[in-house]
Amino acid sequence: MIKKTIVALSLLASLPGGAAPVRDQHWSLIANQLFPALTDLGNAHAAVGILSERRARMDACKEAPACVLNAGLWSNKEIDDLAAAAAKAPANAWRKAALADDGVKAQVSRELRGLNSIIQVYGLGAAPRYPLIDGPVDAAGSQRFHATVTDAVWLARAGADDPALALDASLPLAVALLDANDRDDAVAFEPLDMTHNGAALGRAGIIDWKLFPYTAIIIPGIGPEVPGMALSARGKLNVRMAAKRFAEGAAPFIIFSGASVHPKGTRFVEAVEMRRALIERYGVPAESIIIEPYARHTTTNLRNVTRRLAALGAPLERDTLIITNTSQSSYIESAEFAARNLKELGYAPGAVGKRLSPTELTFRPSAKSLRIDPADPLDP
């Protein structure tokens, strides 16, 4: 990390007068994934008056880490002011990724509150939502933690003129904090649909969805919790059940959802390992399989699967079929899970429907799941 910072500062110092700013493609990818509306707003050069006071406040810190971090936080008034200004921007300022179902104002507010959360957790040492699997590489308050934060502040300064994060200095600060901790989980498989899911997306264009009872078979991941183990016994069970229902013609696609989560630090990605097992053990063709390798919890399993269904062009008003072990299946239809969705996502990612067997539930996805929320920067 120290080497990375020195290189970035050296590049900044060596720029000749009038040279064009350097665009970091990796930062651009992260910014687009976590902050689509803020990225669009920066490209539109909007709301300059609202941001001038913030710029002066952060510049006055002279790179003192604690000052920069606290100055980078957005107050409730600043969030409301920028969101209101964004709502007045012309329609051509926004790409599809920035247009949430609840409007630009709500999306901008969501992204700014998520940006605050990144600064608080990775810069100021606040506890992440799930301390066992999330958060910075070093313990909050430790000497190494403070050293990494200092490096991140300098890295942000070196990238202050990056065109991908042009709106406000808090954007390169948040991205630099993640970068300094190597927490680029949110973009680890990008461009996901063009590469890993390309064959399935190509096939989706010729699918007659009406010929199938369900648009997709959804398989949530079950981490092994054992270091060095690629796929848990329950994960293998889920794969076998998926293969059986696919062979019966239940749906044209199988969607595997799950990231590299359990145990913390594992190199195995649940969705990838289940896909491999389905192909190698059951001979299901790759063009019938979608991976969703970002979900870190059952809540985001269902949310993120909806995003992949939308990318496929599948009709969201049709049911899908969730297949998983009896324990997780029961949890998905429980009041506890419904309450957790409202607490952590702010909405239900869809409607859980009929129970067909101890391991099968129908699920109708909701377009609310397309909202991006960087409050969890590893899986926004």
SS3 of residue 356 by DSSP: strand
Task: State whether the Cα torsion 223-347-302-107 is positive or negative.
Answer: negative
- Residue 355, token pair as written in the block: 């129970």
DSSP 17: T
The full set of domain ranges for the chain reads: 2-183, 187-370
Closest to 344 measured CA to CA, from 325, 369, 363: 369
Residue 177 confidence (pLDDT) above 80: yes
pLDDT tens by residue, 324-361: 999 999 999 999 999 999 999 999 999 999 999 999 99
- Cβ neighbors of 369 (< 8 A, separation 6 or more) are 302, 303, 304, 306, 307, 349, 350
Distance separating alpha carbons of residues 204 and 54, to the nearest angstrom: 46
Tens-place pLDDT, residues 89-130: 888 888 887 889 999 999 999 999 999 999 999 999 999 988
Dihedral sign computed on CA atoms, order 175, 176, 178, 184: positive
**pLDDT value, residue 7:** 44
Half-sphere exposure of 307 (CA within 13 A, CB side): 25
User: Got the DSSP string for 125-176?
Assistant: -PPPSSTTT-S-SS-TTSHHHHHHHHHHHHHHHHTTT-GGG-S-THHHHHHH
Q: Write down the mean pLDDT value for the chain.
A: 92
pTM value is: 0.90
Task: Match 């008003």 to its residue by tokens.
Answer: 317
CA distances from 317 to 203, 366, 367 (A): 20, 8, 10
pLDDT in tens, 256-285: 999 988 877 788 999 999 999 999 999 999
- Nearby residues of 228 by Cβ (< 8 Å), 6 or more positions away: none
Predicted pLDDT at 6: 46
Instruction: Provide the CATH topology of domain 187-370.
Output: Rossmann fold (3.40.50)
Question: From the CB of residue 215, how many other CB atoms can be counted at a distance below 10 Å?
Answer: 26
